[in-house]
Amino acid sequence: MALKLADYKTEVHNDWCPGCGDFGIVNALQMALAEMGIERDKATIFSGIGCSGKTSHFINTYGVHTLHGRVLTFAQGGKLANPEMTVVAVGGDGDGLGIGAGHFVAAGRRNIDMTYIIFDNGVYGLTKGQASPTLRLGEKTKSLPSPNTNYNVNPIGLAVASGFTFVARGYSYDVRHLKDLIIKAVRHKGLSFLDVLQPCPTYNDINTRDWYAGVDLAQESMERHSRIYKLEDMHFDPMVHYDDESEVNEKLSQALIKSLEWGQKIPIGVFYQNEIISQYSARLTDRIPNYLENPPAKQKISENGLPVTDVSEILDSLRI
Amino acid sequence: MLDKVDGEYKRFAFTDDGISPRSRLGLDNGIFWNTGDESDEFGHITEDPQIRIKMMDKRMSRLDLVIKRIPDDEQVVSFGVHDYTIISWGSTKGPILDAISMLKKEGINVGFIQIKLIHPFPSDYVKSLLKNTKIIIDIEANHSGQLGKIFKQNISREIDYFILKYTGRGMTSTEIYDSLKKIVENKANKREVLSHGA
């Protein structure tokens, strides 16, 4: 029986603020899962800590709500143990680019076949709106007593530099476009990263829905003028087409340059894609030839409630 | 650990023994959720006070089960119990045994129980082992006598002497021997601090 969108929803009460950008991301993710027809018990949503952390509870697949900054470690472990499973990790920009920045970079180097979505709103919304890593230097959101003293992390640039092989940005109020991006990201063979601009209506009074829609610009020019535009509409080609250093360098550099655009014009869409770089599973299979046929998830670990691993021989050999 | 799941599945179901059948990621029909916060039987995050009480009671009831399941000799190893008995844990075991045999040659018997299970603390077993012991000596490689504190907390009995070393060097049998001898001769401080090693 084909699964419907409703099958991917749970009955867990949602306590996000009215108008939160997170709703658009959850909806897009559920729509993407439904459209791809991924069986509910063959997908796991891993989430970090923060408002976005509750995402895994709202989606009716396996769900693992993990630790602050550590979502990628759990998610990579889940995928390594069970390579057939669809794995999507989600978390906030504070979670993934603050405390989790080390894991972010390490994940890029591995290129495990899974997807990471950052809910990017520039504030720590769950803890009353402190400045998070993507808030710009000198900006002062609602609950800051004085302007931000730190320079911002560039998530797209960091992903490209760390080795992510699919790097894109979405906007949480463009749910259909975001859904399509999620599908592309999940189908990408390797580690995909989605930076989703997600207005926090409670604490970020700078990057609001109206700001992204360019309402202030319209007041100046008397015409509707969204800040957001789509890379695909500009015939931007993010794909590394062949295994050649100059081709790779060109696509990496244009992604980095595009990622620096902000202010009047903000690009969304796919910045970079490279399916030539080997996936981690291929690197593992070089060492463990039967890894894909016999991954950890298929191995028996217990019988009659007791572990099957017997270390007594090893312990006996160490006895003095 | 489940190999298959039929019907509705609750990863954290309330059960008589406090243990719920476990699915794993990717198992057919075995969907569950995990969270670091309190959860309901499905694993969904919750702040419901009644569920919290039931979940904590379930979780903590497993400590009794643990004590029953772990074999006695994995909890405490007894190398003999005498009027003077040492309690200790970890890397101190070897030099303690050597020091005990040095004393034995002089006709002095010192007992030793090596405590391997710290939590849940095997209170009843340790109490029964030490019921005839007059002097308890805690030997540890730290400043505060950590095991001694846990011992007192669980057994409601004072440690008589501490032999401690916290220089980052291992204990030697001779310095343990010297301290034990002082204790037996009633010349020791309550707290003997060891310092061998350059």
**B127 in the same domain as B56:** no
**B113 in the same domain as B38:** no
Residue B198 lies in a domain: no
- Mutation site, A39, A42, A65, interface B, largest B CB count within 10 A: A65
Residue-wise pLDDT for A279-296, tens only, equals 999 999 999 999 999 999
CA A129 – CA A42 distance, rounded (Å): 36
**B173 in the same domain as B86:** yes
Residue B15 lies in a domain: yes
Nearest to B24 among A10, A84, A297 (CB): A297
In the prediction, which pLDDT does A222 show? 66
Residue B149 lies in a domain: yes
Residues (pLDDT < 50) of chain A are none
Cα A173 to chain center, whole Å? 17
Q: Which of B42, B69, B96 is the last residue of a domain?
A: B69
**B167 in the same domain as B183:** yes
A16 in contact with B, Cβ within 8 Å: no
How many folded domains does chain A comprise? 1
* Dihedral angle, C-alpha A54, A56, A59, A61, nearest 10 °: -160
In the prediction, which pLDDT does A225 show? 81
In the prediction, which pLDDT does A219 show? 74
**B61 in the same domain as B41:** yes
Q: DSSP label at A270?
A: E
How far off is chain B from A101, nearest CA to CA, in Å?
21
Residue-wise pLDDT for B4-13, tens only, equals 898 899 999 9
Residue-wise pLDDT for B128-150, tens only, equals 999 999 999 999 999 999 999 99
B59 in contact with A, Cβ within 8 Å: no
CB contacts of A320 in chain B (<8 Å) are 94
CA A247 – CA A239 distance, rounded (Å): 9
Residue B24 lies in a domain: yes
**B46 in the same domain as B80:** no
- Cβ contact B29–A61 (<8 Å): no
Residue of chain A nearest B31, judged by CA positions: A62
**B8 in the same domain as B24:** yes
Residue B63: domain span: 1-69
- Cβ contact B36–A67 (<8 Å): yes
> For A303-306, which contacts have Cβ atoms below 8 Å and span 24 or more sequence positions?
A305/B1
How many folded domains does chain B comprise? 2
Residue B18 lies in a domain: yes
CA B172 – CA B176 distance, rounded (Å): 6
In the prediction, which pLDDT does B48 show? 96
CB contacts of A59 in chain B (<8 Å) are none
In the prediction, which pLDDT does A39 show? 96
**B49 in the same domain as B139:** no
In CATH, what number is assigned to the domain containing residue B186?
3.40.50.920
- Cβ contact B25–A44 (<8 Å): yes
Residue B169 lies in a domain: yes
Q: Which of B69, B88, B119 is the last residue of a domain?
A: B69
**B63 in the same domain as B77:** no
Residue A126: domain span: 5-318
Are A62 and A82 in contact by the 8 Å Cβ rule? The answer is: no
**B44 in the same domain as B92:** no
Cα B139 to chain center, whole Å? 14
B7 in contact with A, Cβ within 8 Å: no
In CATH, what number is assigned to the domain containing residue A195?
3.40.50.970
- Mutation site, B22, B25, B31, interface A, largest A CB count within 10 A: B25
**B77 in the same domain as B64:** no
Are B78 and B86 in contact by the 8 Å Cβ rule? The answer is: no
Residue-wise pLDDT for B63-84, tens only, equals 999 999 999 999 999 999 999 9
In the prediction, which pLDDT does A218 show? 78
Q: Which of A198, A213, A200, A197 is nearest to A141 (CA)?
A: A200
Sign of CA dihedral B186, B187, B190, B192: negative
Both tokens of A228, joined, read 């957001």
Backbone angles phi, psi at A281, to 5 degrees: -60, -35
CA geometry: angle at B24 spanning B19 and B27, to 5°?
Answer: 125
- Cβ contact A302–B1 (<8 Å): yes
How far off is chain A from B189, nearest CA to CA, in Å?
33
Q: Which residue has the tokens 């202010």?
A: A263
In the prediction, which pLDDT does A1 show? 61
- Cβ contact A297–B34 (<8 Å): no
In the prediction, which pLDDT does B127 show? 97
In the prediction, which pLDDT does A234 show? 95
**B20 in the same domain as B6:** yes
